[in-house]
Amino acid sequence: MTKTFRRSYQSFSFLFVLNWDFLLFFGATALAIGGWAVVVSM
């Protein structure tokens, strides 16, 4: 029981890290696009 729970917890934390990395990349891309739009509109 404990081993299965630990395995599921590891997979969940791994997915969370992947999603965090993806969200960070998405946020940086959105900031870059927003800054480029501001520079173009000036």
pLDDT at 1 over 80: no
Q: What is the predicted pLDDT for the residue at 33?
A: 96
CA distance 37 to 22: 22
Taking CA 22 as the corner, what is the angle to CA 20 and CA 28, rounded to the nearest 5 degrees? 100
CA–CA separation, 37 and 17 (whole Å): 30
Tokens at 40, concatenated: 């173009």
Residue 2 has pLDDT above 90, yes or no: no
Instruction: Name the token pair of 28.
Output: 């940086």
In this prediction, residues 28-41 reach a mean pLDDT of: 95
Using pLDDT thresholds of 50, 70 and 90, give the confidence band for residue 19.
Answer: confident
For the entire predicted model, the pTM comes to: 0.50
